[in-house]
Amino acid sequence: MKRILALCAVCVIIASCAPKSEINLMPAEDFVTVVDGKDVALYTLKNADLTMQVTNFGARVVSLWTPDRNGNHEDIVLGYNNIDQYVNNPGERFLGAVVGPYANRIANGTYTIDGQVYTFPQNNNGQTLHGGLKGVDMVVWDVVAVTDSSILLSYLHPDGQDGMPGNLKIDMTYTLTADNEFKVEYVAETDKATHVNMSHHSFFNLKGEGNGTVNDHVLMIRASKTTPVDEVLIPYGTIVDVEGTPFDFREPKEIGRDLDMDDQQLRNGAGYDHNWVLDKQSCCDVELAASVYDPSTGRYMEVYTDQPALQFYGGNFFDGSTCGKYGRPLRYRESIALETQKYPDSPNHDNFTDTLLRPGEKYEHVCIYRFGTK
């Protein structure tokens, strides 16, 4: 631990000497390896204002450079500076990754389809999180096609991996669009009935990775209801109004404004780590779900999706013991995740979203992070 912290201190000094506007890409050679017999590499995508690096190990976004109101670029997603750290998980496992086949939590690591009970690996809270021990974040995705601004990745999640049924063929495209968007598109098909709920798990800090708290970021979530959870973050199965609670982000407010309120849900989540039910105008259209703004830099991000819900996580379990790409510690509440998805633990609640995918059907999902300044 002392050696890690000392390294952080040295790297912070080095990083602080670089001009803020300089884009320091991760060296591609630091991400070349072989995992489970498959080649891993690093890919760089660009448009006029955005630069993003992606590794096909877990389809992870390693870096995402965006300009502030003065045109200075910072890397606004958390990550590690070499592939070994992603493979061996020194701290947070899900940095920048795609998660699934079932994102979020499954209570007691089990669900039932057509009378058959399926069981999955459980964590220390007795639940399955983000797909199990391997999920889709700890595997190597096939790179199908790459352009200057997009990458098409594919993975066949085999029947029985982590106990989940069906050979699930997943195609996923990352695109940097001409509208300053990072667009994520999923299409999946199965040969056996299974539950599917994919999501993207980048951790954002609009000041830049390791540059301070996100509690002063101004957040809006277009949702008038949430699904309350117990002390291990499993939904009770109820859907409640946000009116009069710390979970009302329908009007933009600082993330930290209501964090000290006496609220059982805040205690259960150690802060914000909950599912918001989006106020959709239609079931299937891509609509605005959330926005977040950093007044200090002017960076502004909007989240659009065709999904019915959004998980907002406020970085409550980072403790500064692990360093990010530039040697700065990844600290408590210095990042947020905004994960578009269906409701957590839906297979175990009849009144929640339908996540069952059968042969002959297609799972489709669009998530867009749009960037700007003001």
Q: What's phi and psi for 30, nearest 5 deg?
A: -80, 0
> In the chain, count of helices (H) and strands (E)?
3, 28
| Catalytic pick among 195, 274, 339, 365 | 339
**Is a pLDDT exceeding 80 seen at residue 279?**
yes
Confidence (pTM): 0.94
| 226-266 pLDDT tens trace | 999 999 999 999 999 999 999 999 999 999 999 999 999 99
Mean pLDDT of 282-290: 96
Domain boundaries, the chain: 2-201, 218-322+344-360
| 309-357 pLDDT tens trace | 999 999 999 999 999 999 999 999 999 999 999 999 999 999 999 999 9
**Is a pLDDT exceeding 50 seen at residue 3?**
no
Q: Please, is 287 exposed, middle or buried when counting C-beta atoms within 10 Å of its C-beta (0-12, 13-18, 19+)?
A: middle
**Is a pLDDT exceeding 50 seen at residue 16?**
no
| 110-139 pLDDT tens trace | 999 999 999 999 999 999 999 999 999 999
201 a catalytic residue: yes
**Is a pLDDT exceeding 50 seen at residue 2?**
no
**Is a pLDDT exceeding 70 seen at residue 14?**
no
| Catalytic pick among 73, 157, 195, 201 | 201
Mean pLDDT of 177-198: 98
Mean pLDDT of 18-45: 90
DSSP for 106-151, written as a single string:
EETTEEEETTEEEE----TTSEEETTTTTTTTSSBPEEEEE-SSEE
CATH of domain 2-201: 2.70.98.10
- pLDDT category at 91 given cuts 50, 70, 90 is confident
Q: Please say whether the beta carbons of 113 and 195 come within 8 A.
A: yes
**Is a pLDDT exceeding 70 seen at residue 13?**
no
Residue 21: what pLDDT? 65
Mean per-residue pLDDT of the chain? 94
- Give the Cα separation of 112 and 347 in Å (integer): 8
Residue 89: what pLDDT? 85
Mean pLDDT of 172-177: 98
**Is a pLDDT exceeding 50 seen at residue 189?**
yes
- Give the Cα separation of 271 and 268 in Å (integer): 8
CATH domain 218-322+344-360 topology = Beta-galactosidase; Chain A, domain 5 (2.70.98)
- Give the Cα separation of 58 and 64 in Å (integer): 16
- pLDDT category at 6 given cuts 50, 70, 90 is very low
Q: Please say whether the beta carbons of 142 and 170 come within 8 A.
A: no
